[in-house]
Amino acid sequence: MASAQSPGLPPDVVLLLDFVNTLDVEKLTDDVPSPAALATWLRARGLLGPTETVSPDAFAAAIEVREALRIVLQFHHGEPPPAAELRTLERRAADCPLAVTFAPDGAAHLRPVGEGGWKALGALFAALVTTQREGHWARMKACPAGDCQAAFYDTSKNRSGRWCSMAVCGNRTKVQRFRDASPARSRR
């Protein structure tokens, strides 16, 4: 699956968008269908050491987090996210211990201190906190097209971007709305 990486996007934003996009809803393909595949994905991003593994429990938690994030990002178009999804993220974050560390300049950072897949999942939660702190979280969205749902970064000036691609998903939705509202269709 293509990376969400664009010039200028912070690494934590790219990491989270790429994580949500490991499931391609349109093609029904999953880049991380197993604990081993997730471990490979996490290693490629430096979140898991060469000998560390992802347990079945950590794998199930990661998939649950990915899908909760997708739903929360779908609500970044203006509505408050569902409380159930926030509770899921809270519950899973509690499984991933984080420590506060300080940079030489005194800036505080979250660092995962778990093991294996739990440590990597903690790194994703730390990235989420960083994206919020740096003001990027609200611009991270999921396409509302039911057959897409790709996570993307809204680059519009007024943060009103709705579709991952106006040329594809936005246009497809507008054409469908037009067809549904067409008087010729309603007379048939």
For residue 143, the domain's CATH number is: 1.10.3300
Q: Does a structural domain hold residue 3? A: no
* CA angle centred on 19, ends 166 and 25, rounded to 5°: 55
Q: Does a structural domain hold residue 140? A: yes
pLDDT 10s digits, 167-184: 557 555 555 555 556 676
Q: Which domain holds residue 149?
A: 11-187
Q: Does a structural domain hold residue 180? A: yes
Tell me the pairing of strands 140-142 and 98-102. Answer: unpaired
Q: Name the domain count of the chain.
A: 1
pTM of the model as a whole:
0.85
CA 97 to chain centre: 20
pLDDT at residue 139 in the model: 94
pLDDT at residue 137 in the model: 95
Segment 101-106 shows an average pLDDT of: 96
pLDDT 10s digits, 3-49: 555 668 999 999 999 999 999 999 999 999 999 999 999 999 999 99
Q: Does a structural domain hold residue 4? A: no
Q: Does a structural domain hold residue 5? A: no
Q: Does a structural domain hold residue 166? A: yes
Q: Does a structural domain hold residue 98? A: yes
pLDDT 10s digits, 131-145: 999 999 999 999 988
Residue 120, burial from CB neighbour count under 10 angstroms (0-12, 13-18, 19+): buried
Alpha helices for 21-164 (secondary structure H)? 35-44, 56-74, 83-94, 116-133
